[in-house]
A = this chain, B = another copy of it.
Amino acid sequence: MTIRVLAFDIFGTTVDWYTGVSRQVGEVFGELGVRLDAGIFASEWRDKYLPSMARVQHGERDWAYLDTLHRESLDDLLDDHGVGEQVDEAARQRLVHAWHRLPAWDDVPGGLRRLREGHVLAALSNGGFALMTNLVKAANLPFDCILSAELARTYKPDARVYRTAAELLDVAPEEVLMVAAHGWDLKGAAEAGLRTAFVERPREKGPDREADKDVEAEFSVRGFPELAEKLGV
């Protein structure tokens, strides 16, 4: 079956969350005199990402927006480091919003413009609909539509997220190619009947941690232009 829709994971696949979040954390910590390494803090914050969503996905708690999960993780983390009293409400809100403004990887804008010629391009993220709309607008990325796990009121890798995306775009699951830098996301997509493309993003987790590699997928590429080549657009 022809691939009609390309669904892109965003954090790590399309934008460089590590650089963006650690830079903004560094700014806020600098202003407040908090003496913690911003890069390590960003990584620790991200570590709480999958477990916090899994609780929603498995029905252990009601639907909660990603901003809410980020905020809870942030509060915990600041307390764990004993700096809770140094970081006021306004600063915490600013930190949560760091995830709304992240830089795209260099190859992304040009790659998307090329891919857009032959396919419908959708952002399909665990980030909420508003968060994604703001992030995509700020980074000026030419997606045709914003989708979000929020529309299924659960989180990837729950099959309902991928299937809701296909249903909203009125295509069969096998007409959608999920593009992601994470094995867990592509495994979920494949289980829901989508096709898969792995994008290697070696610096996705920052300089000190290893990113996913050698992930099983129908396509395996090192950037969006290479994906365009493989898809023949």
Chain A residues with a Cβ under 8 A of chain B: 120, 122, 128-131, 133-134, 136-137, 144-146, 150-151, 168-171
A168 near B145 with CB under 8 A, answer no
A133 to B168, CA, bound (A): 10
Residue of B nearest to A123 (CB): B145
Residue of B nearest to A131 (CB): B170
A165 — nearest CB in chain B belongs to which residue?
A: B129
Other-chain residue from B129, B131, B170 in contact with A128 (beta carbon distance below 8 A): B170
Is A144's CB under 8 angstroms from B137's CB?
Answer: yes
Shortest CB distance A6–B (Å): 13
Contact A133 B150 (CB under 8 A): no
A171 vs B134: C-alpha distance when bound (angstroms)? 12
Bound: A150/B169 CA distance, A: 11
Not counting A136-B144, A144-B146, A146-B146, a sample of 7 additional A-B residue pairs whose C-beta atoms are within 8 angstroms of each other reads A120-B133, A120-B137, A122-B133, A129-B168, A130-B171, A133-B144, A150-B168
The interface residues of chain B lying within 8 Å CB-to-CB of A144 are 133, 136-137, 146
Give the docked Cα–Cα distance between A150 and B170 (Å).
Answer: 12
